[in-house]
Structure 1
Amino acid sequence: MDQSYVNWNGHHVKLTWLPNRMPNVALVTSVHGYCFLDEKIMLVKIDNRGFNMPGGHIEGNETPEQAFHREAYEEGYVKGEIKYLGTIEVNHSDNPLFDPNGIYPLIGYQLFYRMEITECLPFLRKNESLARIWVEPDQISYIIDDHPLTLKILETALKIK
């Protein structure tokens, strides 16, 4: 079990990577994933967030899998086959700024997938993403500066084909 503390906009949050564990879907706050094409990883640049893997919130009655497919298409204009990798538990127990009446639960989950891209469409910039790049897996740590668990998730994704 890998853990890390992050400072997200002043919020002190504990993250725990739980490979192959599926939490209660009602507590899932977002879905994300590494998308592979020809052994390279697609990253997208989202306005005000820099480059990262595609992802976002579940909308309406979507399943987590449907949400990830939608996010990968909206942000990266790709489609493909996905495999579940695991979850990050997002724990606000040590966060003095946590709002119990806010939109996030005290303990929530972010799900992560690996996508094998089967269709790469023209990048249109119609949604929130500004750019799409293709990166060698060993270069991810130089581009994504989110939290150390990002690389643990990548390790898991590279083991699964």
Structure 2
Amino acid sequence: MKTFYDYYNNKIQLSFDDQPFNPEPKHVWVICRYRNKWLLTKHKNRGLEFPGGKVETNETPKQAAIREVQEETGGEVEGIQYIGQYFVTGKREKLAKNIYFAKVSAIQKQDSYFETDGPVLIDQLPSNIKCNETYSFIMKDDVLTHSLDYITKVIEPMYS
């Protein structure tokens, strides 16, 4: 388990074990790839980020992750894998969020992308993302750094 602090100085605990903080988390975050590019969405208030959101009633976290990718990017998920969970101890609330890695097979144009402006494809995430105002605070803590490392070392070799 890794412990660190996020952009707003909230305590974060991150683990790549199977749902160590909550077996029924109410939030998901999905790191997406489409044709060897990163698939993000542009949140109307926060900036560029990977898709994610709340788990709805009668929905599993995995189903929520697939739905959030579709709603926020128009992406059709062809494969999705749970990679970890993190727990945020905030000033007002505490929450557990599952992290997934998704391969997207197609992106469909939509009339609405809900609270986002739709899909954004980039070749490479910037090395200075923590200082880059274009990106959401969600992208600026070590959850992203550790998750990308995990994907590179554990997930991608499984597809090779």
Task: Settle same-fold status: TM greater than 0.5.
Answer: yes
Deviations, residues 88-115 of structure 1 (Å, cap 9, x unaligned) = 12124xx4xx3xxxxx44xx31100010
Structure 2 gap segments, 5+ residues each: none
Match of 2:146 among 140, 145, 152: 152
CA-CA distance at 1:76 after TM superposition: 0.7
Q: Which residue of 2 aligns with 1:116?
A: 103
Aligned partners of 2:69 and 2:2: how far apart in 1?
Answer: 26
Alignment CA distance shift 1:136-1:110 (3 Å): same
Q: Which residue of 2 aligns with 1:83?
A: 81
SS of corresponding position for 1:71? helix
Q: Which residue of 1 aligns with 2:14?
A: 17
Supply the AA of the counterpart residue of 1:2: K
Q: Give the TM-score normalised by structure 2.
A: 0.79
Structure 1 gap segments, 5+ residues each: 99-103
**Identity between Structure 1 and Structure 2 (%):** 25
Aligned partners of 1:154 and 1:116: how far apart in 2?
Answer: 14
Aligned partners of 1:21 and 1:91: how far apart in 2?
Answer: 19
C-alpha RMSD of the superposition? 2.1
Matched-pair contact (CA < 8 Å) for 2:6–2:142: no
The structure with the largest strand share of the pair is 1
Aligned positions, number: 146
CA-CA distance at 1:5 after TM superposition: 1.4
Alignment of 1:128-147 (within 5 A): 128-139=115-126, 141-142=128-129, 144=135, 145-147=139-141
Find out whether 1:45 has 2:42 as its counterpart. yes
Moved more, 147-156 or 72-81: 147-156
Find out whether 1:74 has 2:71 as its counterpart. yes
Find out whether 1:127 has 2:114 as its counterpart. yes
Matched-pair contact (CA < 8 Å) for 1:84–1:112: yes
Aligned partners of 1:154 and 1:125: how far apart in 2?
Answer: 29
SS of corresponding position for 1:139? coil
Q: Give the TM-score normalised by structure 1.
A: 0.79
Moved more, 76-85 or 141-150: 141-150
Runs of 4+ off more than 6 Å: none
Alignment CA distance shift 1:40-1:78 (3 Å): same
Matched-pair contact (CA < 8 Å) for 2:82–2:101: yes
Aligned partners of 1:154 and 1:111: how far apart in 2?
Answer: 14
CA-CA distance at 1:47 after TM superposition: 1.2
Moved more, 45-54 or 149-158: 149-158
Matched-pair contact (CA < 8 Å) for 1:3–1:149: no
Matched-pair contact (CA < 8 Å) for 2:28–2:53: yes
Q: Which residue of 2 aligns with 1:34?
A: 31
